[in-house]
Amino acid sequence: MSAQKQDGEHPSAVWKAAAGNAWVQMQDVLDAMLAPFTPLVLDSALRAETRHVLDVGCGAGATTLAAARRLGANGSCTGVDVSPPLIDAARRRAHEAAPGNARFVLGDAQTHVFEPGAFDALVSRFGVMFFADPVAAFTNLHEAIRRDGPLSFVAWRSPRENPFMTEAARAAAPFLPALASPDPSAPGQWAFADAARVRGILEASGWHGIAIEPVDVPSSLAVADLDEYLVRLGPVGVALQDADEATRSRVIAAVRAAFDRYVEGDVVRFTAACWRVTARRA
């Protein structure tokens, strides 16, 4: 459930093409896998007085649409993301949704010019770990939220605590020697694994009342979706795009076998380890 930055790329570049397209193609599977995290994000941010919400790194729009449904016709949720294919998918979904109060913006939340204080709350489901300059990003977002407005997001904890997320790369490494090991300080899936770093980023960008809570969430997907999930997403999916057929076949066989321990009948089960982070604008 990640994209990996290639050497020399802007951290958002991978989402603008291959990774964004892969997430669109796997939208239904990923929405089902990530659904348990949506209430973790929304429950603490959406209050009785909340009317306008900003969803950062909204992807294909599942969290934005969920917030919009909760707010009803008297409120709205705006999703922002750097990926054109994901924003296109989100807009298609919003067009079909009721009450039609979900909106989507194509842009980098680090630099996008938001109207000051335009939103009552800021939420994100695994969408805030990819900023090139997270302090600048959260400073910019701080100004978009009204005074005392809440911030609520979830981000992954460490790779060690999420073996399901790293199993594919370990199994594929003998066949893909160029597969990069993630830099824990670089923008990407694991950028917020260190709770102390997350707290420092938020403090430096003006947020107060910061709480960072470890949460372990039982997650699953259908066995029927596992093979496509493994070869389309994450660093292995990116690396396989340029692999020859023989290497591709060996990688797929090795990776699939590594996941047998997660299979229970026709369901793949694993525990997702994340941080639930809340704060408020001063």
Domain presence at residue 239: no
- pLDDT confidence of residue 247: 87
- pLDDT confidence of residue 72: 93
- pLDDT confidence of residue 17: 57
Q: What is the mean pLDDT of each run of 10 residues along the chain (282 residues)?
A: 44 58 83 94 94 96 96 95 93 85 96 97 97 97 97 97 92 82 81 97 98 96 89 80 85 92 95 98 90
> What separation in angstroms does the CA of 62 have from each of 82, 131, 161, 207?
16, 21, 25, 26
Domain presence at residue 122: yes
Domain presence at residue 8: no
Domain presence at residue 73: yes
- pLDDT confidence of residue 180: 67
> Which residue range forms the structural domain that includes residue 195?
13-159+181-219+272-281
Domain presence at residue 143: yes
d(CA 210, CA 199): 7
The structure's pTM equals 0.90
Domain presence at residue 234: no
- pLDDT confidence of residue 196: 98
Strand partners of residue 208: 280
| Owner of token pair 């057929």 | 245
Q: What domain count does the chain have?
A: 1
Residues 191-238 pLDDT 10s: 999 999 999 999 999 999 999 999 999 999 999 998 888 878 778 887
- pLDDT confidence of residue 154: 98
- pLDDT confidence of residue 9: 46
- pLDDT confidence of residue 14: 55
Q: What is the CATH number of the domain that holds 111?
A: 3.40.50.150
- pLDDT confidence of residue 25: 81
Domain presence at residue 116: yes
Domain presence at residue 32: yes
